[in-house]
Structure 1
Amino acid sequence: MVKPVTAEPDAGAADGTARAPSARQALAALSLSMLLPSLGISVANVGLPTLAQAFEAGFQGVQWVVIGYLLAVTTSIVGAGRLGDIVGRRRLLLAGIAVFTVASALCGAAPTLGLLIAARVAQGLGAAVMMALSMALVGEAVPKERTGSAMGLLGTMSAVGTALGPSLGGLLIAAAGWPAIFLAGVPLGVLALLLAHRHLPADRPAPRPARAGFDRLGTLLLALTLAAYALAMTQGRGGFGPANAVLLAAAAVGAGLFVLAERRAAAPLVRLAMLRDPTLAAGLASSALVSTVMMATLVVGPFYLSRTLGLEAAMVGLVVSVGPIVSALTGIPAGRLVDRLGGRRMTVLGLAGIAVGAAAIAILPATLGIPGYAGPIVVMTAGYAMFQAANNTTVMADLPPDRRGLVSGMLNLSRNLGLITGASAMGAVFAAVVGDVAAAGPAAVADGMRITFAVAAALIAVALATVVGSRMRATPAAIPERAP
């Protein structure tokens, strides 16, 4: 169990007296701040058919209930982390929780689809703040020797939200209609707000360089670039046409303009020299690659289970849920191992577990049935939980306070971009092998899955090489920003 730590007086104390925040209660607040954003994605997905019927809209319309939320999170998470470094992480996290909670209530009360989508965008902005700053505040809420356990707990809460969303959403819709899937977040948001206000350590004054200003131009360029990339990866439902090409070109141009703007900015959003830090660069790259691979289990797995193994829809859902459940159960133990054995070593072990699981799926025959698929998935997701806790701990270790929010936002961004890329790229690999997915037979689908996971294993091998190479290049003077 995490030991209480002392900190500055809580800014929220009514009498102005000092109050040492409880590390346990602080972690409860941060855990809820990680649970709610992931729950906000998965609980809405299951409600799309009901929303289409309620608002008499087609799939292209109601899908923006999910896309709008994801775009808001993806485009604003780095800026939210940097803004927290400037104005105070505790203060901004409280504002983000409040925005998420109010937006959840507005989603449930939305009379039209357009207003629902607008409220979901606002909800996504609050979620971006919560995701970026929850991880950044771990360093201030718990002792350093317990950082891995805390990171494992946050990873567990994110996995719980993903796993719980579909079943909870189905129950809420059946019991009280579609508004309930959004209104359920209101009491949880209020609880998170109260816990965070009472138990998170007070913000410390930021160093003078950190207060130099907020890079509005860089933030806008990055947001537009990420929006163009995310839309290029999600539009067309698996196809790639002229619109996708234009969006990718716009993203490339935006990335170039962003680099130019950061080089000229007095107080850049991202100091480009940070990316020369081998630990940070390897952590971001491996996080994106791992998320890309893990998305294959959700994109390709259901086709294999239903077409090749002949499972009914309910059984497919049950087998697919094995991954999030294992991730939820192994997150905290993985974090404790990180504290005992070190983040760098556990990062390599986690990647090795993912690689072994992906390779097993690629070579095991379909005649093994459900165990032949579920067994490797258990290995992959356990390795993923270990990797997440270890990688986040390693990247966030020894960062100066004025960079924790920014780097946390960058880590979350790399994960989100990996998920978005995986949904498109791994699906494209599968479709290239199978051909017409709608008409493909069991053998063709099995071949497509094997090739897809062989590619996945190769990507994890690249991630492993990146991490091992970064350890060889890392030196204490690699980057000034890591110095205390």
Structure 2
Amino acid sequence: MKAIGDQRAAAGPATPDHQARMRYAWRVCSVTSLGLILIGVAGSTLNVALPSVVRHFHASAMESGWILLSFLLVNTASLVFFGRVADLVGRREVYLTGLALFTAASLLAGLAPDVWFLVGMRVVQAVGAAMVLANGTVILTDAFPPERLSQGMGVYIGTLSVAQLAGPTLGGLIAETAGWQWIFWVNVPAGLAALTWGAMTLRRMPRGPRRPVDALGNALLFAALSALLLALSEAGSAGLSSPAVIGGAAVFVVLVPVTVLVERRAASPVLDLRLLGGRLLTCANLASFCNALARSALILIAALYFQAVRGLDAFDAGLSVLPLPVGMALASPAAGLLGRRVSSYALSVGGALLSAAGLGVLMLAIDPAAPYWIIGLGLLVAGCGSGAFMTGNTTEVMRAVPQSSLGVVNGLRMMIMNVGIVISVGLSLSVLTSSVDEHLRAQVSAGTLSALSPVAVGQLTQGFGRTYAVLLAVALAGLALAALARAPKEPR
């Protein structure tokens, strides 16, 4: 009770200045939430509609993987870079430019004449998304008073859940009725609306300290992640003995120590691990990495399961995966409200525990004869866990750093989380496709395997079980790290 009273006292009286700040803070929250919805819907619709795109272009397993991975790779490698650029030219300006770039690339993606032009437009989308994601959380954190930040963060992260809630159904419906092009074109009016409202609402923010851009560090990071993704994507389709797998893994192993050495000497490193000083920031960010790795491929994997194993069309598959984003949509704002009474540490640990429990249920319910309600329960529990974890973890990290370091630390936080997202998709697809014969692997991404061979469906079902087992192991590691991220007690 004393803690609750202290929090209320810290909020201070509802003065006119405080009320004006809160009105502006909630308008900022609406702007940043629109940006998150735009990017979240774009990703979740494509996850469900990917088989339609693959069938249209007759894409190979590698090409279909890179439709997803190209976006994740470039987005991850660009996050800290655009956090630094925003220090030079302004967060408002970079954020709005990112919205414009993402919208324009979405228009051109729908006009793609071949699969590699589409991949190119996904790269441009990724640059725009990095501009938005690298600055949205910082803009929101700056707008809210510290004692109300968990509420704003809960709504902000909850909008990503809403995007993932609408995305699968929308993606399936569009793919079955209007055609795959509209998966991208639907972003255009939404992007223009977000850009207009952002330009009207956001105020200019003080620019951060002018630091040199670490071009060499960015290049090394991009090359290392590219090599890792090449090895992961080819391992599932070509086998571990493939020259691409061996070469990609070798390049990654060589570049990691080189990157660490270069970054230690850089004046303003893109990967400044010194910012993670202390157990709380180190463990909290590593827990975020594990949660992203365990969470991010779930909608894609579940949608492929319903199409490739159970023979559903894209629309029905989209409906079937809805419990996952529903759980996130319910848990994120609820965790934000609880954040005034429950510590962000408790929310983070509790969310990580629920995420692992949901994956455990999914791993046990892969049999095609298993009733849907068990799968739906697993998806719902995993979604609730991820929503609570992300709200608690983000608040925990952002409260632990001084105001002057918010931009750089947030960029590093997002990059670490996005590396988990990148590896999640690449690793999950690799483990999954390795379970079937080589000549059938393209049918997995196309969602047509269920109509070809009962034997292959059995192999693929085992592949889903192995995939969920790998993700569960990662989620348990994330739970342990979240538990270790407790702030040290202050001396009395």
Deviation at 1:33, TM superposition (A): 1.1
Which residue does 2:286 correspond to in 1?
Answer: 285
Which residue does 1:467 correspond to in 2?
Answer: 482
Q: Deviations over 1:429-451 (max 9, x none)?
A: 66788999976588877766666
Deviation at 1:24, TM superposition (A): 2.2
Match for 1:289: what amino acid?
C
Match for 1:466: what amino acid?
L
Match for 1:344: what amino acid?
Y
Deviation at 1:330, TM superposition (A): 2.5
SS in 2 for 1:399: coil
Residue 229, structure 1, aligned to residue 228, structure 2: yes
Rounded Cα–Cα distance in structure 1 between residues aligned with 2:481 and 2:224: 25
Whether the 8 Å contact between 1:5 and 1:21 is mirrored in structure 2 is: no
SS in 1 for 2:485: helix
Rounded Cα–Cα distance in structure 1 between residues aligned with 2:318 and 2:105: 29
Greater CA drift, 219-228 or 56-65: 56-65
Greater CA drift, 295-304 or 213-222: 295-304
Deviation at 1:299, TM superposition (A): 6.0
Which residue does 2:148 correspond to in 1?
Answer: 146
Q: Deviations over 1:211-267 (max 9, x none)?
A: 132222222222222222233323455544331232122223222222112211222
Match of 1:77 among 79, 83, 87: 79
Q: How many residue pairs get matched?
A: 461
Rounded Cα–Cα distance in structure 2 between residues aligned with 1:299 and 1:189: 24
1:28-427 → structure 2 map (5 Å cutoff): 28-45=30-47, 48=50, 51=53, 60-61=62-63, 64-110=66-112, 113-172=115-174, 177-206=179-208, 210-235=209-234, 237=236, 239-240=239-240, 241-295=242-296, 297-298=298-299, 301=302, 312-313=312-313, 316-362=317-363, 369-426=371-428
Rounded Cα–Cα distance in structure 2 between residues aligned with 1:303 and 1:47: 10
Whether the 8 Å contact between 1:5 and 1:143 is mirrored in structure 2 is: no
Match for 1:350: what amino acid?
G
Structure 1's 237 and 144: CA in aligned 2 closer, same or farther, altered over 3 A? same
Deviation at 1:457, TM superposition (A): 4.0
Match for 1:213: what amino acid?
P
Match for 2:276: what amino acid?
L
Give TM-score, length-normalised by structure 1: 0.81
Structure 1's 79 and 353: CA in aligned 2 closer, same or farther, altered over 3 A? same
Rounded Cα–Cα distance in structure 2 between residues aligned with 1:178 and 1:305: 19
Q: Deviations over 1:177-210 (max 9, x none)?
A: 444332322222222222222222321142xxx3
Rounded Cα–Cα distance in structure 2 between residues aligned with 1:410 and 1:182: 29
Deviation at 1:388, TM superposition (A): 0.6
Structure 1's 297 and 264: CA in aligned 2 closer, same or farther, altered over 3 A? closer
SS in 2 for 1:266: coil
Match for 2:218: what amino acid?
T
Rounded Cα–Cα distance in structure 2 between residues aligned with 1:20 and 1:115: 44
Deviation at 1:375, TM superposition (A): 1.8
Q: Deviations over 1:312-371 (max 9, x none)?
A: 456554332221222123321122122331211111111121233333445679686222
Rounded Cα–Cα distance in structure 2 between residues aligned with 1:271 and 1:99: 28
Whether the 8 Å contact between 1:262 and 1:269 is mirrored in structure 2 is: yes
Match for 1:42: what amino acid?
S
Rounded Cα–Cα distance in structure 2 between residues aligned with 1:170 and 1:305: 12
Rounded Cα–Cα distance in structure 2 between residues aligned with 1:461 and 1:112: 41
Whether the 8 Å contact between 2:168 and 2:319 is mirrored in structure 1 is: no
Match for 1:470: what amino acid?
A
Structure 1's 204 and 345: CA in aligned 2 closer, same or farther, altered over 3 A? same
Rounded Cα–Cα distance in structure 2 between residues aligned with 1:362 and 1:268: 40
Match for 1:349: what amino acid?
G
Q: Deviations over 1:405-446 (max 9, x none)?
A: 332233333333223333344566667889999765888777
Q: Which runs of 5+ in 1 are unaligned?
A: 8-17, 478-484
Match for 1:144: what amino acid?
P
SS in 2 for 1:270: coil
Rounded Cα–Cα distance in structure 2 between residues aligned with 1:330 and 1:112: 40
SS in 1 for 2:341: helix
Whether the 8 Å contact between 1:149 and 1:335 is mirrored in structure 2 is: yes
Deviation at 1:278, TM superposition (A): 1.8
SS in 1 for 2:136: helix
Whether the 8 Å contact between 1:31 and 1:154 is mirrored in structure 2 is: yes
Greater CA drift, 24-33 or 37-46: 37-46
Whether the 8 Å contact between 1:34 and 1:158 is mirrored in structure 2 is: yes
Structure 1's 116 and 277: CA in aligned 2 closer, same or farther, altered over 3 A? same
Rounded Cα–Cα distance in structure 1 between residues aligned with 2:190 and 2:15: 24
Whether the 8 Å contact between 1:140 and 1:201 is mirrored in structure 2 is: no
Whether the 8 Å contact between 2:47 and 2:299 is mirrored in structure 1 is: no
Rounded Cα–Cα distance in structure 1 between residues aligned with 2:37 and 2:23: 21
Rounded Cα–Cα distance in structure 2 between residues aligned with 1:223 and 1:58: 24
Match for 2:337: what amino acid?
R
Structure 1's 257 and 183: CA in aligned 2 closer, same or farther, altered over 3 A? same
Whether the 8 Å contact between 1:159 and 1:328 is mirrored in structure 2 is: yes
Match for 1:462: what amino acid?
A
Rounded Cα–Cα distance in structure 1 between residues aligned with 2:51 and 2:361: 35
Which residue does 2:445 correspond to in 1?
Answer: none
Whether the 8 Å contact between 2:47 and 2:303 is mirrored in structure 1 is: no
Q: Which runs of 5+ in 2 are unaligned?
A: 1-10, 442-452
SS in 2 for 1:147: helix
Match for 2:386: what amino acid?
Y
Rounded Cα–Cα distance in structure 2 between residues aligned with 1:364 and 1:56: 31
Whether the 8 Å contact between 1:299 and 1:427 is mirrored in structure 2 is: no
Whether the 8 Å contact between 1:293 and 1:422 is mirrored in structure 2 is: yes
